[in-house]
Amino acid sequence: MEENKNTDHKSLRFLKGAKTNWDELAKDCVCFANGSGGLILIGIEDGNKLPPPNQKIKDRNAPDLIQKHIAQRTINVGVAVTIETAENNSEYIRLEVFRNAQTIASTTDGRYYIRVHDECNPIPPDEMARLAADKNAFVWEEQITKRVPSNRYDAEKRQGFLNDIRRSSRVSSFIKEMTDDELLDYYFFQKQGFLTNLGILWIGNRQDRASLLYPPAIQVLRYNENEEKVWKLLLDDQFRNPKALLNSVLNDVPDWQESIEVSEGMFRKNIQFFPLEVVRELVVNALVHRTYTMRGDIFINIFHDRLEIHSPGRLPLGVTPKNILSQSIRRNEHLSKVFYDLGLMEKEGSGYDLVYAQLLASGKPIPEVKDLDDRVVVIVQKQFVSKQVIRLMDRASSEFNLKQKELITLGLLAQQQSYNATELSKILNQNKEQGLRSWLGKLLDYEIVIQSGKGKGTQYAVNPEFIRQSQFKGKTSLKNIEDHRLEELIYKDVKAYPESAFGDIHNRIGKEINKHKVRRTIKSMVESGNLKSTGERRWTRYSIE
């Protein structure tokens, strides 16, 4: 079991008797409690799936001791600690931290933390209200405050849901064999003889759905080039459950059918301005991850050059526009499960992978995500970067069995000619070299992408031979300039401008050239005697010998 947002590993050496860092363990427990719960496995080293061979827990009272110290150092944290035996017959300690669904957990000295990906991050004071809102959103799904009897439902919607579940390939046979009431209990549609808010939302009558505090409503608006409203579709009458809302958006808006024709030899290929799969995933995200305890409709604004989707509430705590591609936190957990089991959304954490892959394969820029004070806005551009990018991506997809991550990386490189390791890691939110390798996948093995340089200066670019075979004409750029041409460029610049600083040289020959590559080349030219340097550090100046 690898470390992730729900699992943490610690060596058995962590337990040092009186010298044990109990405060650190308490902090980790608070992180999990404020997140979605999790496991701390003491006795399994980082990167390993099993404890060391022949490992035994000598102190059989360790679980009670751990539970006692956590209780003394935390508030609103529930744990269960046991000694477990792994497949290799070695022992380890399993510390389960329960999700705190209604209150905020903290350490006894007033510190708040949350688990984000595989790290424990402090919660700043200005984010406390946001965390509290997320807690309320989780509780909202199971509430029965409306006291709607479980037999007061929309018969057509109820039967439709049951049929959809039993036909779904994502649901196990064990679940499908449940009785109707058992299925509704399993999906938290009913509890204690009443429909939950989630049950009202999906299978309830129109009147009961309208009585919810903030039932979902969608407004689709089209604007002309002067950004004047010219058409609208209002889905706010509460006749529709979330599935019907999604279907109305996908089927009743003619704009999704607009496309451009791209020639491909003797064939023609139509590329949608707004790919339907992208629209579906973004609308699903707006329905599933919105804050149902906050007033506001979902707005889908169609402009002449872009699509904007506005969803009430901010991103879940721990998710930002920068890490949205790699970080996923379910705000409405039970609603998310319903959407996934019905095949209406991608699995957790892969939704934006799909959006990125579809847009880049269509020769479009990646979406822009804005996390504002009261809403999240996702912007998709209508225009294409170039038809040549579409051809290149189409050839790569047809000739190689590329994964979504590989398609995303290739699309980014095709649109920008090249990226260095730092730039690519920043876009993909990968802090470790190993993480970046998983996004490159087999692109290097297939020689679709080539690599040059080392360390932070490592440069990735689409293989020129693959570009030539795809008849792709990229943007004119100095990013991939060959070393000997770069030396000649630097030599001519310094000859014309003696006593130049590094920054001045870089600006004049081209900012798009990676600065690490320029610095490395200048150093090599100084060592070979082609350039002369005077001064040190920021006062270094370069001239011709």
| Each residue's pLDDT tens digit, 343-379 | 998 765 567 888 999 999 888 999 999 999 889 999 9
Q: Is 440 exposed, middle or buried (0-12, 13-18, 19+ CB in 10 A)?
A: buried
* Contact between 409 and 449 (Cβ < 8 Å): yes
Residue, of 499 and 455, whose pLDDT is higher: 499
Q: Looking at the domain covering 7-123, what would its CATH class be?
A: alpha beta
Q: b or e along 486-511 (b: 16 or more beta carbons within 10 Å of the residue's beta carbon)?
A: bbebbeebbeeeeebebeebbeebee
> Which fold is adopted by the domain 397-469?
Arc Repressor Mutant, subunit A (1.10.10)
pLDDT beyond 70 at 473: no
Same CATH fold assignment for domains 397-469 and 483-543: yes
Which pLDDT belongs to residue 294? 79
Report domain extents, the chain.
7-123, 397-469, 483-543
pTM for this structure? 0.73
Quick one: average pLDDT of 384-405? 83
Average pLDDT score, the chain: 87
pLDDT per residue over 292-349, tens digit each? Answer: 877 889 999 999 999 999 999 888 777 888 888 877 777 788 999 999 999 998 765 5
Task: Look up residue 492 and give its amino acid.
Answer: K
Q: What is the pLDDT of residues 49-100, one digit of tens each?
A: 899 999 999 999 999 999 999 999 999 999 999 999 999 999 999 999 998 8
Give 171 or 470, the one with higher predicted confidence: 171
CA–CA gap between residue 205 and residue 486 (Å, rounded): 70
pLDDT tens, residue by residue, 229-277? 999 999 999 999 999 999 999 999 999 999 887 765 545 678 889 999 9
Q: Which segments of 108-241 does DSSP mark as H helices, in order?
A: 128-142, 155-167, 173-176, 180-186, 197-203, 206-210
What number does CATH give the domain 483-543?
1.10.10.10
Quick: pLDDT tens for 148-172: 999 999 999 999 999 999 999 999 9
